[in-house]
Amino acid sequence: MITDLYHKRNERKINVLYPVGGNKNILRNVNGVKVSSGTGPNGRFITVQESDGQIRSLSVSKCVASL
C-alpha cells in the first residue's frame, strides 16, 4: 500500500504496479499523471491519466511500489 500517492500533488507523474482487473495476482505498470484523489465507500483512490489518454481510478490500498 502506498499512502503517499493520495497526498501527492495533482499533475505529478505516477509510476506504480496495479493488479490486472483490480483483483488478480498479475501486476501491470501504470504510468501517467495524477488527476485527482478522493475517498469513497471502499477507501482512498487516485485518478490517473495514462500516457495513451486512458483515465483510470486506482485504489490506493492495491497499488504496489514500482521498482
CATH of the domain at 18: 2.30.30
> Torsion over CA of 10, 6, 13 and 34, rounded to 10 degrees?
-50
Model confidence pLDDT, tens digit, residues 30-55? 999 999 999 999 999 999 999 999 99
Q: Model-level pTM?
A: 0.84
Domain count, the chain: 1
Comparing CA positions, the residue from 64, 55, 59 lying closest to residue 34 is 55
Burial of 48 (0-12, 13-18, 19+ CB in 10 A): buried
Q: How far apart are CA 24 and CA 27, in angstroms?
A: 8
- Cell 495513451 -> residue: 52
The parent domain of residue 28 ranges over 4-65
